[in-house]
């Protein structure tokens, strides 16, 4: 790896450093290989958790117990939540595409601390395995939900400590990745790439990384306190010992609300890359997008209380959090306007990445507007803890982050593997996914409005129709996911060789060959122009 | 390799900083003998903050770091204080 | 955090230092969560916290404060020494720092041992009989000083590694990032204590 000899056009996939075979992956400090390691592990856990989600839906296909009992249902939705939130969605985009493309897009050969980067992946795997182990070790799978609310999490007889530790360890991995990205962006941009010549995906990662660094430790210590509560009777959160359960909710959401922005900001960054490329037009309002990313990251710190409106927090506190929740919608809306304006008048090429990106806007808008419904104090009382909330955050997290992830993988796939997937099949899979998604989650809004509580394994007959449609949607959605994955996996080796710039993109990753060489660039490029200058545009 | 020559603090300057810190420690301890009522916490925290600033500025070389590093340190403390205040919007008015 | 050299890059000390500062922020927020809990309970149960703080030995606390402050100076001096090229002096200062850290830990051990003798430890029955504020105070006391002690141990380990690195010739006048970052970490341990000390021992 330290050899000075020039590797001309040996792709990173074939490149072997000091280690051979499987070790050239497991011990590689190449940011691209680490990105793929994350991709494969996250994809694996995504499939596991998606199947768990399907099981939950199957249970709800008819009233009364169908395929599992109540306790098992609690365990399954807890595991579904822990895997999806802590293992899949929070690291997701940043660890996969951030690792792979951040250095390339800013014209660097690697991240600032490559070995630390590999360490983060190992810590991630340890955390993930602990999460899985919580299902089998000790006294039964945890049943607290991924939020670990006390006092129940302090009293539940199930194996909560493993799950808490898993979340703690995963948080640590997330922190290290965040540190790595901030330093990389500060120190390793190519010569000439000033802050405002940087593409927008790195910008979104920058905003995200700050949240990762400055918010994750709070949940770390909170989880440690719950562990201490369970093992040592320490009593911070247990009312019987003088503690305050609401304090746990404060501490938990101080991290976990910004965590939503850890999920969604990189997603916004990905689609911001896709719209200019498939419209062949410079992104509209570059500065506004940058500032809105930073604004979301900052304001996002101070809205955590909107998860607690019905818990009896003070009037002024509710007022404040509700107000800021509305404020944080503004930068998000600015971005939506910018994406649409980017497409306006462009020569639009409706390829799979753009399809996913457009559906991202659609689903994200539904999620966003229902978020305002929940952020308003009066309606929140009615909707709190109903399946309306479940539908809302799945529209944001799956419809937002998930679809952006799919958009990203379809966008960058030819760059990552040097092959092209079947575009027709990708379009069909998108159609199935999109249909299944809306069938699955939209009915939950309606039955939520009618009063269907979340996390219940049984329900009144009046909700049957909604649940039934929703379960059908879940089945279609899972079929869509498997079609998409089949397409990506099958054509990994069999697809036609992709040109180095199939979408006529202009950011740096499209200027190098596909797949990139081990060192990305033979010569570090010198940046003279702002990003997103397309040839047809008059150069200024 | 290095963008600027690192600043080398003298042994004497470190000793001076320590003296200041010990002096402030003495003050906080002595303050416990005086009843300041509601201001006790405020004054104690103020002294602790002054001490922390001294450690950050000289021992941790912030004085000789880039302005950016100084700002992120200030920003991090400010963020924590803001989170504290926002939490207390709940606890004070409940 | 000295991992900056993978490909053909020269070691980027600024990057290493920035990375360390960011890491310190996460440590600060880790304690920040506990400070938040402290603040809330102090506001709620100020009487219990007063009696609780009265039970702690302010003398041990003061001694430990002085010890940590002095150790902060010696580690800063070790950096000065290495910058001036006198490795032997640097090692001496580091040894002094480590000894001071050990004094701190021994003090802590006696303090905790004494409390445990009085059956005031988390989960003990004596503690459960106390009123809520005092109970919470002691829980916080153990949690905060315990986490702090853990950081002392980590810092101690880092300083010992520094000594070996100086001896091995990897840390010297031209390249002392590891020592500098370990120093930063050690100062953080001191910084946290600067706040813990008055909050736990003095506010009676």
A2 touches chain C (CB under 8 A): yes
A330 touches chain C (CB under 8 A): no
Per-residue model confidence (pLDDT) at position C50: 87
Chains with 3 or more CB pairs under 8 A to chain C: A, B
Cβ contact, residue pair A242, C133, below 8 Å:
yes
Per-residue model confidence (pLDDT) at position C10: 55
User: Mean per-residue pLDDT for A47-73?
Assistant: 94
Cβ contact, residue pair A232, C40, below 8 Å:
no
Cβ contact, residue pair C29, B80, below 8 Å:
yes
Paired with A11 in beta bridges are A517
Per-residue model confidence (pLDDT) at position C11: 67
Per-residue model confidence (pLDDT) at position B38: 76
- Rg, C-alpha atoms of chain B: 18
Per-residue model confidence (pLDDT) at position B4: 58
Question: How far is Cα B38 from Cα B41, in angstroms, rounded to an integer?
Answer: 7
Nearest to C136 among A179, A186, A242 (CB): A242
* Token representation of residue C172: 């010297």
| pLDDT digits (tens), chain C, 204 positions | 333 333 444 568 899 999 999 999 999 999 999 999 999 999 988 888 988 888 888 899 999 999 999 999 999 999 999 999 999 999 999 999 999 999 999 999 999 999 888 888 887 777 778 888 888 999 999 999 999 999 999 999 999 999 999 999 999 998 999 999 999 999 999 999 999 999 999 887
Q: Is residue C9 part of a domain?
A: no
Nearest to C1 among A116, A225, A233 (CB): A116
Q: A223, A222, A207: which is closest to A261 by C-alpha? A: A207
The region of weakest confidence among A229-238, A294-303, A424-433, C15-24 is A229-238
Cβ contact, residue pair C76, B14, below 8 Å:
yes
Q: How far is A316 from chain B (nearest CA, A)?
A: 7
Question: How far is Cα A53 from Cα A478, in angstroms, rounded to an integer?
Answer: 10
- Cβ(C189)–Cβ(C9) below 8 Å: no
* Token representation of residue C124: 């003990």
ipTM above 0.95, yes or no: no
Helix A352-375 / helix A245-279 crossing angle, nearest 10 deg: 150
Per-residue model confidence (pLDDT) at position A109: 93
- Cβ(A25)–Cβ(A37) below 8 Å: yes
CB atoms within 10 A of CB C44: 16
Domain ranges, ordered by start, for chain A: 32-511
B79 touches chain A (CB under 8 A): yes
- Cβ(C77)–Cβ(C93) below 8 Å: yes
Residues of A in CB contact (< 8 Å) with B are 214, 246, 250, 254, 301-302, 305, 312-317, 320
Full domain range(s) for residue C99: 28-202
- Determine the residue among B60, B61, B65, B71 to mutate to test chain C binding: the one whose Cβ has the most chain C Cβ atoms within 10 Å: B60
With a cut of 90, say whether residue B36 has pLDDT above it.
no
* Token representation of residue A78: 């807890």
Residue of B nearest to A309 (CA): B90
- For chain B, give the percent of residues with pLDDT over 70: 95
Question: Bigger pLDDT: A235 or A505?
Answer: A505
Q: A344, A219, A183: which is closest to A276 by C-alpha? A: A344
CB-based contacts of A520, cutoff 8 Å, min separation 6: A32, A103, A104, A108, A109, A110, A512
Please give the tally of structural domains in chain C. Answer: 1
Per-residue model confidence (pLDDT) at position C92: 96
Cβ contact, residue pair C32, A179, below 8 Å:
no
> Mean pLDDT of all residues in chain A?
93
- Determine the residue among A257, A307, A314 to mutate to test chain B binding: the one whose Cβ has the most chain B Cβ atoms within 10 Å: A314
Would you place residue A7 in the very low, low, confident or very high pLDDT band (cuts 50, 70, 90)? very low
Cβ contact, residue pair B79, A214, below 8 Å:
yes
Q: Is A451 left (phi over 0), alpha (psi -120 to 50) or beta?
A: left
pLDDT in tens, B60-94: 999 988 999 999 999 999 999 999 999 999 999 98
Cβ contact, residue pair A218, C33, below 8 Å:
yes
* Token representation of residue C65: 């404060």
With a cut of 60, say whether residue A4 has pLDDT above it.
no
Domain with residue C155: its CATH number is 1.20.120.80
Question: Bigger pLDDT: A148 or A539?
Answer: A148
Question: How far is Cα A107 from Cα A101, in angstroms, rounded to an integer?
Answer: 10
Instruction: Kindly report the backbone phi and psi dihedral angles of residue A167, in degrees, each rounded to the nearest multiple of 5, phi listed first.
Output: -65, -40
C10 touches chain A (CB under 8 A): no
C170 touches chain B (CB under 8 A): no
- For chain A, give the percent of residues with pLDDT over 70: 98
> Between vectors from CA A30 to CA A27 and to CA A36, what angle results, nearest 5°?
85
Per-residue model confidence (pLDDT) at position B7: 83
User: Mean per-residue pLDDT for A299-311?
Assistant: 94
* Token representation of residue B5: 């020559």
Q: Which CATH code for domain A32-511?
A: 1.20.210.10
CB-based contacts of A412, cutoff 8 Å, min separation 6: A97, A100, A101, A509
Helix A245-279 / helix A200-232 crossing angle, nearest 10 deg: 160
User: Mean per-residue pLDDT for A387-415?
Assistant: 96
Q: How far is C77 from chain B (nearest CA, A)?
A: 6
Cβ contact, residue pair B45, C198, below 8 Å:
yes
- Cβ(C14)–Cβ(B4) below 8 Å: no
Q: What CA–CA distances, in Å, run from C146 to C105, C121, C138, C140?
A: 11, 12, 12, 9
Enter the DSSP assignment of A526: P
- Stretch 54-73 of chain B: residues touching chain C, C-beta under 8 Å: 55-56, 58-60, 65, 69, 72-73
- Cβ(A234)–Cβ(C136) below 8 Å: no
With a cut of 50, say whether residue A341 has pLDDT above it.
yes
Half-sphere exposure of C56 (CA within 13 A, CB side): 27
**Which residue is associated with the tokens 């002094």?**
C96
CB atoms within 10 A of CB C112: 17
User: Mean per-residue pLDDT for A336-363?
Assistant: 95
- For chain C, give the percent of residues with pLDDT over 90: 71
Q: Is residue C12 part of a domain?
A: no
Chain B residue numbers touching C199 (CB-CB < 8 A): 44
- Stretch 76-105 of chain C: residues touching chain B, C-beta under 8 Å: 76-77, 80, 83-84
Cβ contact, residue pair C73, B80, below 8 Å:
no
With a cut of 90, say whether residue A473 has pLDDT above it.
yes
Q: How far is B27 from chain C (nearest CA, A)?
A: 11
Q: B82, B37, B27, A213: which is closest to C194 by C-alpha? A: B27
Per-residue model confidence (pLDDT) at position A15: 83
Question: How far is Cα A478 from Cα A436, in angstroms, rounded to an integer?
Answer: 8
Chain B residue numbers touching A312 (CB-CB < 8 A): 94
**End-to-end alpha-carbon separation of chain A, Å?**
41
* Token representation of residue A527: 């940046």
- Determine the residue among C26, C37, C69 to mutate to test chain B binding: the one whose Cβ has the most chain B Cβ atoms within 10 Å: C69
pLDDT in tens, A74-101: 999 999 999 999 999 999 999 999 999 9
Residue of A nearest to B77 (CA): A214
């Amino acid at each position: 790896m330290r050899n000075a000899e020039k590797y001309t056009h040996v792709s990173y996939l074939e490149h072997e450093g000091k280690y051979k075979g499987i070790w050239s992956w497991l011990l590689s400090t190449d940011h691209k290989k680490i990105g793929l390691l994350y991709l494969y592990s996250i994809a694996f856990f995504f499939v596991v958790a998606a199947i768990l989600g399907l099981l939950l839906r199957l249970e709800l296909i008819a009233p009364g117990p169908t395929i599992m009992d109540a306790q098992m249902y609690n365990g399954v939705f807890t595991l579904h939540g822990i895997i999806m939130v802590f293992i899949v969605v929070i690291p997701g985009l940043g660890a996969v595409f951030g690792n792979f493309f951040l250095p390339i897009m800013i014209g660097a050969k690697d991240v600032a601390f490559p070995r630390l980067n590999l360490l983060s992946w190992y810590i991630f795997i340890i955390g993930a395995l602990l999460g899985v182990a919580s299902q089998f070790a000790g006294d039964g799978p945890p049943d607290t939900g991924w939020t670990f609310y006390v006092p129940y999490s302090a009293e539940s007889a199930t194996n909560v400590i493993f799950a808490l530790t898993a979340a703690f360890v995963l948080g640590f991995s997330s922190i290290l990745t965040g540190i790595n990205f901030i330093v990389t962006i500060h120190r390793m941009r190519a010569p000439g790439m000033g802050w405002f010549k940087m593409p927008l995906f790195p910008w979104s990662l920058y905003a995200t990384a700050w949240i990762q660094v400055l918010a994750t430790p709070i949940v770390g210590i909170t989880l440690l306190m719950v562990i201490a509560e369970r093992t040592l009777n320490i009593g911070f959160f247990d009312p019987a010992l003088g503690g305050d359960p609401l304090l746990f909710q404060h501490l938990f959401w101080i991290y976990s609300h910004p965590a939503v922005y850890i999920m969604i900001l990189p997603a916004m960054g990905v689609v911001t890359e896709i719209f200019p490329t498939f419209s062949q037009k410079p992104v509209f309002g570059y500065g506004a997008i940058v500032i809105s990313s930073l604004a979301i990251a900052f304001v996002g710190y101070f809205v955590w209380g909107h998860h607690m409106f019905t818990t009896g927090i003070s009037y002024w506190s509710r007022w404040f959090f509700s107000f800021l929740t509305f404020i944080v919608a503004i930068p998000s809306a600015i971005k939506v306007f910018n994406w649409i304006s980017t497409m306006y008048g462009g020569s639009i090429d409706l390829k799979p990445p753009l399809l996913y990106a457009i559906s991202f806007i659609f689903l994200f808008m539904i999620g966003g507007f229902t978020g305002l419904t929940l952020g308003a104090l009066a309606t929140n009382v009615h909707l709190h803890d109903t399946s309306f909330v479940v539908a809302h955050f799945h529209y944001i997290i799956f419809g937002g982050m998930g679809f952006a992830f799919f958009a990203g993988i379809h966008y960058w796939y030819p760059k990552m593997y040097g092959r092209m997937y079947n575009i027709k099949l990708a379009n069909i899979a998108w159609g199935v996914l999109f249909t299944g998604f809306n069938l699955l989650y939209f009915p939950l809004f309606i039955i939520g409005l009618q009063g269907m509580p979340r996390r219940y394994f049984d329900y009144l007959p009046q909700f049957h129709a909604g649940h039934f449609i929703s379960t059908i949607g879940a089945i279609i959605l899972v079929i869509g996911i498997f079609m998409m994955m089949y397409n990506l996996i099958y054509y990994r080796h069999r697809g036609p060789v992709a040109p180095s710039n199939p979408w006529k993109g202009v950011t740096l990753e499209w200027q190098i060959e596909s797949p990139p060489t081990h060192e990305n660039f033979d010569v570090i490029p010198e940046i003279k122009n702002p990003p997103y200058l397309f040839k047809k545009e008059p150069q200024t | 390799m290095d963008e600027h020559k690192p600043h080398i603090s003298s042994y004497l300057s470190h000793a001076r900083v320590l003296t200041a810190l010990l002096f402030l420690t003495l003050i906080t301890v002595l303050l416990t003998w005086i009843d300041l009522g509601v201001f006790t916490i405020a004054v104690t925290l103020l002294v602790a903050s002054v001490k922390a600033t001294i450690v950050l500025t000289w021992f941790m070389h912030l004085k000789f770091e880039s302005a950016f590093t100084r700002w992120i340190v200030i920003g991090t403390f400010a963020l924590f204080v803001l989170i504290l205040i926002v939490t207390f919007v709940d606890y004070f008015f409940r | 955090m000295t991992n900056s050299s993978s490909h053909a890059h020269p070691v980027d000390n600024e990057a290493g230092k920035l990375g360390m500062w960011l890491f310190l922020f996460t440590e600060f927020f880790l304690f920040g969560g506990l400070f938040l809990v402290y603040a809330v309970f102090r506001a709620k149960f100020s009487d219990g916290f007063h009696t609780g703080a009265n039970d702690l030995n302010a003398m041990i606390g003061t001694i430990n404060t002085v010890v940590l402050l002095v150790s902060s100076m010696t580690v800063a001096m070790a950096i000065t020494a290495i910058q001036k090229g006198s490795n032997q002096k640097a090692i001496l200062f580091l040894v002094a720092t480590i000894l001071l850290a050990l004094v701190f830990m021994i003090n802590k051990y006696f303090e905790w041992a004494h409390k445990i003798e009085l059956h005031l430890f988390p989960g003990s029955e004596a503690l459960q009989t106390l009123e809520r504020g005092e109970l919470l105070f002691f829980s916080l006391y153990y949690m905060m000083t315990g986490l702090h002690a853990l950081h002392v141990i980590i810092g101690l380990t880092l300083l010992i590694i520094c000594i070996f690195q100086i001896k091995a010739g990897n840390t010297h006048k031209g390249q002392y990032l590891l020592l500098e970052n370990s120093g930063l970490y050690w100062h953080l341990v001191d910084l946290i204590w600067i706040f813990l000390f008055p909050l736990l021992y003095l506010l009676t």
